[in-house]
Amino acid sequence: MTTTNTTETPTRQGTLTVGDTFPDFKLKACVSIDKSYFDNFKDVALSDSKGKWRVVFFWPLDFTFVCPTEITDFNKHFGDFKDRGAVLLGASCDSEHVHLAWRKNHPDLKNLQFPMLADYKKELSTALGILHKQAGAPLRATFVIDPDNIIRYVDICDLSVGRNTKEILRVLDALQTGELCPSCWEKGKETVKVA
């Protein structure tokens, strides 16, 4: 069985950043673990969630140590992303088959509520410019993408440092206000009013 991967070529080299268009993609994903083998997979495209906010986060590799702590934390906050009208997608450069095996093997990953994208050919992570130069695996990168497919937030961590999901939610809240938000702003607090 072949994996379908398509991405647009970025208009410039280097890491895509705020203001850039997130590349279109169509990738195989592991979406469950309890169906017949191939029914646990489906194609997921950026266009599937057209008109919605998206949070796409990458981890380096399956069957590692820091990665499951992040994945389970994103899953713990899945409802918070959904409440904000945001679609959550996770990705690494492992195949959908490896994702399935890891989910079946790791007790904390059995009940994930979001797709695990298989960027097996590294086309999306290459287009985004997030491959670690020596390891060749994606860095711990997070992208918040607005309904027009524009990147509004990027966070990229070293391979050894896990992310803070609550901070990503805080930034999403701030972006969704469409207003000026001061340092350490949190949902419900006053935004900056310009006279």
Strand, helix or coil for residue 163: coil
Distance of CA 52 to the CA centre of its chain: 14
Active-site residue identified among 30, 67, 93, 181: 67
Strands 53-58 and 86-92 come out as: parallel
Residue 67 bears catalytic tag: yes
- Name 51's Cβ contacts closer than 8 Å, sequence gap at least 6: 147
* Backbone dihedral region for residue 116 (phi beyond 0: left; psi -120 to 50: alpha; all else: beta): beta
Query: Would you give the DSSP letter of residue 109?
Result: G
The span from the first CA to the last CA of the chain, in angstroms, equals: 60
Which residue, among 20, 89, 26, has the nearest Cα to 10 in the 3D structure? 20
* Backbone dihedral region for residue 188 (phi beyond 0: left; psi -120 to 50: alpha; all else: beta): left
What residues act catalytically? 67
